[in-house]
Structure 1
Amino acid sequence: MNAIKAVLESWQQAVVDENLDNIMRHYSDDVVSFDAIKALQIVGKNNYAEHWKYCMGLCPGGVIMEIHELAIYEAEKVAFCHYLLRCGSVQDFGKENAGWMRATVCLQLEQGQWKIVHEHFSSPFDPETGKAIFDAQP
């Protein structure tokens, strides 16, 4: 479990640092993402890198990415995790624009290294209005 936690912490720091190369080194070449932003699904590391560029462009003052309530389930060559994610950006004058999301991450052991093979980020939504609920609290 410590190895999985280390991968997620390293990924989190790479996102906060907005270091695309370091972010992408955590993913399998065949990653499939169900991201909460824009696309229904993103398949492949190169496509996901383009998506990450877009997302980081939405955060001109800096990225907020905090993992909370992490649960890890690990087997010999696969693992999955779920957690609550506080994410967003720092806006003008240091004001935060962040909300809570849910995350599920699946990893696979590839040549001795844990790689993310699937990622799913989502926000709850109000079915009556169709609007995402970003101010939900854990």
Structure 2
Amino acid sequence: MTTDESEIRALITRWAAAVHRGDLPAVLADHSDDIVMFDVPPPHDGVRGIDAYRSTWPPFFDWQAQGASFDIVSLDVTAGQDVAFAHALLRCGTPEELAAHPDQRLRLTIGLRRTGDRWVVAHEHHSFADTTTAAPDQ
């Protein structure tokens, strides 16, 4: 693993821990001012900018206070010289949701860019698989 990949892995791990704690300043710490995020709840065309990104977190923290998990299960990082991306699977749900759907994972994709001597998150995408439709026959 390269130094950049290690730095990015640590950044994402810190971010996930901050989300789990409900620590908004730490959640925002390594994000660019022009962050773009596509999330599970609306708006479906995403949020743009750090202020809009910031506003998405209080409702999530309220939901999470019900005892929900937000834990990284797997994390892969690929880093170039100035840009990088990571994808992860997370256990995200209340105990009841996870008991009913133990294999459900939140899918996370993160795009980063190097700004000066540090990496910042420029793009986040969160999603769950659509389990309401049947898979096509193989």
**Pair 1:31 & 2:35 matched:** yes
SS at match of 2:11: helix
Structure 1: gaps of 5 or more residues: 90-94, 130-138
Identity, in percent, stands at 29
Query: Contact between 1:18 and 1:63, CA under 8 Å: does it hold in 2?
Result: no
TM-score, with length taken from structure 1: 0.81
Structure with higher strand content:
1
SS at match of 1:76: coil
1:44 corresponds in structure 2 to 49
Query: Contact between 1:29 and 1:44, CA under 8 Å: does it hold in 2?
Result: yes
Query: What's the RMSD between the two structures over aligned residues?
Result: 1.8
1:73 corresponds in structure 2 to 78
**Pair 1:108 & 2:109 matched:** no
SS at match of 2:105: strand
Pair 1:126–1:88, CA change in 2 (3 A):
closer
User: What count of residue pairs does the alignment treat as equivalent?
Assistant: 124
Q: What is the distance in 2 between the residues matched to 1:126 and 1:10?
A: 30
1:123 corresponds in structure 2 to 128
SS at match of 2:51: helix
Pair 1:72–1:47, CA change in 2 (3 A):
same
2:101 corresponds in structure 1 to none
Structure with higher helix content:
2
Pair 1:76–1:86, CA change in 2 (3 A):
same
